[in-house]
Amino acid sequence: MSIHNKKKSATQMNMKVRERLNSHTKNVQKKNPHLFSSDGLLDVGPVDFDAKEAKHPGEILTLATGDVVSIPPTTTIMGSIKTMTSKGFRRVPVTDAGTKRLEGIVTSTDIIDFLGGGERNRLVQEHYKGNLLAAINAEVREIMQHNVACADFSAGIDEVITTMLDDKTGGVPIVNKDRRLIGICTEKDFLRFIAGIFTNKTVGDYMSTNVTTISPDATIVDAARIMVKRGFRRLPIVRDGVLLGIVTASNIVQFIGNGDAFEKLITGNINEAFDEPISALISKDLVWTSAEMDLGDAANLMIDKNVGSLPIFDDGKLCGIITERDFLKAMID
């Protein structure tokens, strides 16, 4: 059924969003950034998130990605870095090689923590006496998160959103009754769910106004340490009040997992790469919006541009930022 022919009922609209989700052939742990279009969506009227059928058991499977790429706990840390960089993942579940039972998860933040950003770097300094080359060949179980927030396959959408917010995680593995991994649900999946829908809620209602920024002259390791210490996954790069770009934990992992930086990693000289200025990771395109934009439009923009946040400008000045997590808060308000 075409999304352009949907009725103006919020319930019927939700059913067709699900139909679109279910009929879409999903790539492994990746989704089509053009899954939703704003065409035909803006005339449905404001959406009451509570009116949407978001509390039915098992509903999370309509959003979650199946056929999840996972790695066994015996994978080396270097191997996990290559998996994340080659696939463009922010996180990879760690499962038993035989049973596929969930044992943990490793994220881009865990990687930068290990390489110099935080407590996991103590593994390099204490256990491997500073020998990074030996440390990156350790098993990923050494740095993965063991107590993983996950969701049963019978969970409803509201339940999963609450879990993600309570545990401050950007992705939740979906498991069956035997704890066998059957899918994963991320913040971006929920972003797609509301992309293009007129919500009658604005970016300004949910943006963060206390924005931590970093100078372009700061090093990559400086950014990594701030991210790990403050629990951030992204930092705006600002000079003299001018926003130059945004750097994410995934940007840093991509940087160290490719090219010259990776060569330095496998020879144990990653500190040289980490001492590069953070400005080296600034992308050319900066996507931003105003506080008045509807959340559905903002979600659509983020999906279309493949970004996880939007800086907010007022009279040419940076006044806030909205991230994927803020959309989760809006969905359960």
Q: Does residue 195 contact residue 296 with C-beta atoms inside 8 Å?
A: yes
Tell me what pLDDT residue 259 has: 81
pTM, to two decimals: 0.81
Among residues 97, 96, 71, the alpha carbon closest in space to that of 86 is found at 71
pLDDT band at 262 (very low <50, low <70, confident <90, very high): confident
- Whether 292 is in a domain gets the answer yes
Q: What is the mean pLDDT of residues 302-320?
A: 93
For residues 90, 296, 9, 33, the Cα torsion angle rounded to the nearest 10 degrees is: -40
- Whether 306 is in a domain gets the answer yes
Q: What is the DSSP secondary-structure string of 196-207?
A: T---S-BHHHH-
- The percentage of the chain sitting over the pLDDT mark of 90, rounded to a whole number, equals 66
C-alpha span between 144 and 163 (Å, rounded): 19
Q: What is the DSSP letter of 11?
A: H
- Is the pLDDT at 311 greater than 80? The verdict is yes
- Whether 87 is in a domain gets the answer no
Q: What CATH code is carried by the domain that includes residue 239?
A: 3.10.580.10
Cβ–Cβ contacts within 10 Å for residue 243, how many?
18
- Whether 228 is in a domain gets the answer yes
Q: What is the mean pLDDT of residues 273-295?
A: 90
Minimum mean pLDDT range among 89-93, 115-119, 299-303, 319-323: 115-119
Please tell me the total count of domains within the chain: 1
Tell me what pLDDT residue 79 has: 95
Tell me what pLDDT residue 269 has: 82
Q: In this predicted model, what pLDDT tens digit does every residue of 18-60 receive, in sequence order?
A: 444 344 333 334 333 322 222 323 333 444 544 444 445 578 9
- Is the pLDDT at 83 greater than 90? The verdict is yes
36: left (phi over 0), alpha (psi -120 to 50) or beta: beta
What residue numbers bound the domain in which 304 lies?
A: 203-332
Query: CA dist 36 to 17, 82, 303, Å?
Result: 9, 30, 8
Per the model's pLDDT, the better-predicted residue between 213 and 266 turns out to be 213
- Whether 194 is in a domain gets the answer no
- Whether 311 is in a domain gets the answer yes
- Whether 104 is in a domain gets the answer no
pLDDT band at 85 (very low <50, low <70, confident <90, very high): very high
Tell me what pLDDT residue 182 has: 95
C-alpha span between 1 and 6 (Å, rounded): 8
The distance from CA 104 to its chain's CA centroid, rounded to whole angstroms, is 17
Tokens coding 8: 């103006």
- Whether 301 is in a domain gets the answer yes
